[in-house]
Chains A and B, each alone.
Chain A
Amino acid sequence: MSGKGEVVVSQGTPGGILPSPWKFKKYGQSGMDVSELFPHVAKHVDDIAFVRSMYSLSNDHAPALFQMNTGSVLTGHPSMGSWVTYGLGTENQNLPAYIVFQDWRGGPIGGAPNWGNGYMPAMYQGTPFRSTGDPIVDLKPPEGMTPERQKRWLGFLDKLNAEHAAKNPQDSEFAARIASFELAYQMQKHATDAVAINTEPQHIRDMYGVDGERTQYVGKQLLMARRLVERGVRFVQVYSGGGNFQESWDAHWDLKANHEMHCGETDQPVAALLADLKQRGLLDSTLVIWHGEFGRMPISQRLDGRDHNPYGYTVWMAGGGIKGGQVIGATDEFGYKAVENRKSVNDLHATMLHCLGFNHEKLTYPYNGRNMRLTDVSGNLIKELVA
């Protein structure tokens, strides 16, 4: 940061270098450096591969989120969850194949296009799940409509629809629509059961911090996520942080309070998820990706904050065939730009798809005259991660 005016910030005035307020220590067999903000996750570093040389294309939240989620900074493309469900299909007809949990303070910037299906059919869009009350909007009828009553009219509907369909028995659209009511009815029960974390033993709830003041939100969501994955849901996304600034990890000021809050909310639940998946033998078949849409600057902003930094940041992956205990790439000594073994979002997506059994160049969807890909026309598998 020699001050030659080459730092591009998104908002306001860049300051000088801001030292990290936290201490780092070595953990695990691999001797990984981890900040004191993550005491729980630090215990799992030998299962985790860190990519410290990520870069992306926008220093603005929404385009950067869209890029992380859909591969493109522009809106309108299918999200990675859509691609995965398009590729893998569904394993449990009674639950949506792609589920999204938003932060308790609100959704991410950019909203629904982050889990949108873009130009793919609506069946590939992410379904937002709530962590209190009914998990899906309109999962249950309003007060007064009992399950018995509903079952009764659905039975009547079935009869009338069957008589109508009999006139054109080969119409698969009619048949699919008739089946969708049965599925929806089943989903009311299954979706509720799937997130019934009150049936989990106390030691599991404690592990995730379900009853902890700070950890309760993400704790509940990650425990639900594990239950959903066990039931065959293909893609679960959990957002930490909603909206701008202190509500999110968007520490333009008071970095210390911000990161201590968000790390405090997530560290224990994330570590619990890794441990829990492992003890159930699910970690090998479940890919866990921890990421943001970009990192933060090494210089200060508004005295004690940091601005957005898409030029160099870290993501980590575990499980799903990822070789843990390693670090890929590095930034410059300030943490400003990825300089060594630089990895793009397309590279990350290519690797994710590889872990799920796809060649990212072959998983295509025809749209507007082109065979579209999650990785557009680039992206390389990060081979070291899956060696």
Chain B
Amino acid sequence: MLTGIAFGADESAEKAEAIFKANCYSCHGAALKMSKLDLRTRETILKGGEHGAVVVPNNPEASLLYKLVSGTQQPSMPPGKKLVAADIEMLRTWIDRGAPYDGIAPADEDKLKTLAKLEDRPIRPEERKFWSFQPVKRPAVKGAGSAAVDELWLKSLAAKGLKPNPQADLRSLIRRAYLDLIGLAPTPDQVTAFVNDKSPNAWPKLVEQLLASPHYGERWGRHWLDLARYSDSAGYEFDRDRPTMFHYRDWVIEAFNRDVPYNEFVRLQLAGDELKPGDREGRVASVYLRLGQEANIKTAQTRMDELDDLLATTGGSMLGMTIGCARCHNHKFDPIPQKDYYRMQAVFFSAKPVEEPFAEAAAIAAHKTALAEWNAKLKELRAAKGQIDKPYRERLLDEKKSKLPEFFQIALKTPADKRTEGQRLNAIQVEKFLVVDDKELQPLLNADERARWTKLKEEIAALDKKKPEIPTLLTIEEKRADPSYFLHHGSVDSPGTEMKPGILSVAHEGEWAFPDKTTGPGLGRRAAFADWVTSPSNPLSARVMVNRIWQHHFGEGLVRTTSNFGKTGELPTHPELLDWLASEFVQQGWSIKKMHRTLMLSQVYQQSSSDRADGIAADPENRLLWRQARQRLEAEIIRDQILAAAGTLKLDLGGPGVYPFIDPSLYAGSSGRTWPGKQIDDPSTFRRSVYIFQKRTIQVPMMELFDTPNGIGSCSRRNRSTIATQALILMNNAFVLDQAKRFAARLKQEAGDQPAAQVKRAFDLTLSRAPSPKELAEAVSFIGSAPEGLVDFAQTIFNLNEFAYIP
């Protein structure tokens, strides 16, 4: 273990728990609570025993527990033996960090029997009949691939007496494919080449080109990042940065580009550390388990909240089930027993958060040595400085004590063993909080002392800044199977039976086998769970994923509630089509790219998105897809397109997040949270928006207002609001105006001084089409009628509806 790296606070929690378990539980645990002290939960530790509180969070020296284990107060504990120095130091660190704790006290035997009766909630056979729990049934179709899709789609359409729209015009098609697959508009040359390509495979060729583009992963990886609630910060009060999370984001993007089969993609995230031990990809993918918000002070409760967040996210994103609803009671609407929840929790329970060095072994060893040396040197300098100012410090403290309010004076004057409880506490306060700072000391030192003292102070300050560092990764470590329990009412105070790992019982008859390992690294539970999630017999996973792919190609899923395939979700509009796709997906090796091909080469994808009176009358919500959807682009793509139009977009892939400008009044002053925003015209920020640093509580306004999710909960479908403050940003934001100027300059450079040429170029670049004669005339007259005409025309383009929608 490396000390000195900012390890998660709960590492000390886990260590403290292990120390207590090994040395103290026999007298202060389930069987016996000597001195009425129970060390099994944070609550009971803080409550203390008949000798009062045993732990004062953040103050080891004032904590009875520390005094007893370190031997500074008698009787020393545990009786008859002394803890090893490392354990004593660990307990000190633990108290100093506020005594975080994971332990849950199991219930007593007889209580357990009563509780166990309440825990069983068998699945009734009819409950398995709900559509999404039924095995995927591949319908008989005449055609294969895209033809099968069209066959099933047209069948539903015909049943309503509706006809499909004709194929979209070629310019709309290429624009649709580009924006959909890579999130960038085609260049005018690409449009021309496609429109002029009369070969029958022009369209499939285009789809292939786009699937091979590295920008495909940036676009489609982002959809997964929404589901995984990806973020570059830890959330909650301090929302601390997690500067290494981008490795996960880059892995997702790259996995989409490599077309990692979806089953493998899921397995790596749930259990990459187990499936590919020691492998970089396995470690980075399993960062998925650390994407949630994490509290600063760890308790049993915060651990449960973090696990709940992970279960809810996993259930929604990978299974389309709202399993989080079964935390406190059996699911109210779906056949998800509370026991399933806690059995699935047991799958993840022993995977504890850690921050590990992310470097070669030699670099890790070198860092360890350097850190030990650094610590020793710092300690030495501090001691030397303290030696010089000691007499003055003590004198100043005495003076300060004499100026305290009367009740403190009385407490101090009373001998320690005669003090009332309040006086005892007040005396501790004086000892701990009456401090002398260097500014007060400095004038008191004599010239020689001051010279030596100041030199030491400077050396300390200089050394402080040179702490040896090493790249790290937030990941998990699973050393041993920790017991976890059914929590009645979801309360850590009401543990029931100990839980063994399990799965969603309604979706699988009988038990799913989990290995019985009790020590790690890796217990095999997550790998076994991932095997179930991605098993072809699992009725949910493939359906859920193909439905998501459908949603992004067609605006809405075949099941519109894409993360809820339960009773409160919607029913599939095309059940046969959904099942055919799910079955095809598995047959084609869970290849996402093959699914794109199948869908995009279909007629349903290529049809025009224009309204038709009969369609609106019969199916106003377009549930049967008599036309293609007109999808509003996400915040990221709108911003990317502005940069692309202006010719400023940098297309580098991957790496740490970038910081566009945010007005400081939007984040100033909150708990030291800050945003190192660059100037609006700083080219380092002109990258695709998927690379913007994703801070949970500070979002770039343009992203926030256009419904980019905040990374707190899993997002399966973005809200699509239209509000005046969105318009204000596009009208007034200095970044937008600066890009408009650059766009105007580009138009001038590429099209010359003639407004007509400028307008044509602008339409080609941003809308993939030529202006209509009317548009051209209006635009030319607009540009010519004022000196800033061209810049204002450029900004107008950014604000067109057509600019913000997939045609």
Contact = CB atoms under 8 A, between A and B. Distances in A.
A41 to B, nearest CB: 26
B432 A12 contact: yes
B632 to A, nearest CB: 7
A13 B778 contact: no
Given A243-B670, A369-B322, A5 B47 contact: yes
Contacts of B235: 75
Given A16-B423, A17-B422, A75-B696, A181 B727 contact: yes
Q: Find the residue from A15, A17, A93 having the highest chain B CB count within 10 A.
A: A15
B775 interface: yes
B564 A113 contact: no
A16 B407 contact: yes
A387 interface: no
Contacts of B706: 122
Contacts of B392: none
Contacts of A111: 239, 667, 670, 673, 697-698
Contacts of B53: 5
B56 A13 contact: yes
B47 A181 contact: no
Contacts of A370: 322, 325, 568
A121 B729 contact: no
Contacts of A26: none
Contacts of A12: 57-59, 432-433
Nearest to A248: B669
Contact of B704 (A8, A122, A170, A302): A122
Interface stretch (B209-217, B271-279, B351-359, B786-794): B786-794
A102 to B, nearest CB: 8
A16 B425 contact: yes
A122 B710 CA distance: 11
Contacts of A356: none
Contacts of B72: none
Contact of B727 (A60, A153, A184, A299): A184
B199 interface: no
Contact of A171 (B611, B663, B712): B611
Contact of B569 (A60, A74, A169, A369): A369
A159 B778 contact: yes
Q: Find the residue from A4, A6, A76, A113 having the highest chain B CB count within 10 A.
A: A76
Contacts of B667: 107, 111-112
Given A122-B723, A157-B796, A163-B775, A301 B669 contact: no
B454 interface: no
Interface residues of A, number: 98
Interface residues of B, number: 109
Given A75-B236, A177-B804, A183 B421 contact: no
Given A15-B426, A123-B721, A176-B722, A105 B669 contact: yes
B801 A170 contact: no
Interface string A123-135: 1010110100000
A61 B295 CA distance: 12
B796 A160 contact: yes
Contacts of B749: none
Interface string B317-343: 000001011000000011000000000
Nearest to A133: B665
B243 interface: no
Contact of A60 (B48, B297, B669, B802): B297
Interface stretch (B478-486, B646-654, B731-739): B731-739
Interface in B651-679: 663, 665-673
Interface in A138-156: 138-142, 145, 149-150, 152-154, 156
A113 B697 contact: yes
A137 B663 contact: yes
Given A8-B46, A12-B59, A13-B428, A164 B801 contact: yes
B352 to A, nearest CB: 21
Contacts of A4: 52, 421
B369 interface: no
Given A164-B801, A173-B632, A180-B724, A141 B710 contact: no
Given A11-B58, A108-B670, A121-B707, A76 B322 contact: no
B698 A303 contact: no
27 contacts: A4-B52, A12-B58, A13-B432, A63-B236, A75-B696, A93-B724, A96-B725, A107-B669, A108-B670, A119-B713, A122-B707, A125-B704, A156-B782, A156-B793, A163-B775, A170-B611, A173-B720, A178-B801, A180-B726, A183-B724, A184-B728, A301-B429, A302-B429, A302-B433, A369-B322, A369-B561, A370-B322
**Nearest 7 CB-CB pairings of A with B:** A106-B669, A3-B421, A16-B422, A62-B237, A5-B53, A184-B727, A76-B712
Given A4-B421, A121-B707, A164-B801, 12 more contacts: A16-B407, A61-B671, A62-B236, A75-B697, A96-B725, A106-B669, A109-B670, A113-B710, A121-B719, A183-B727, A243-B669, A369-B564
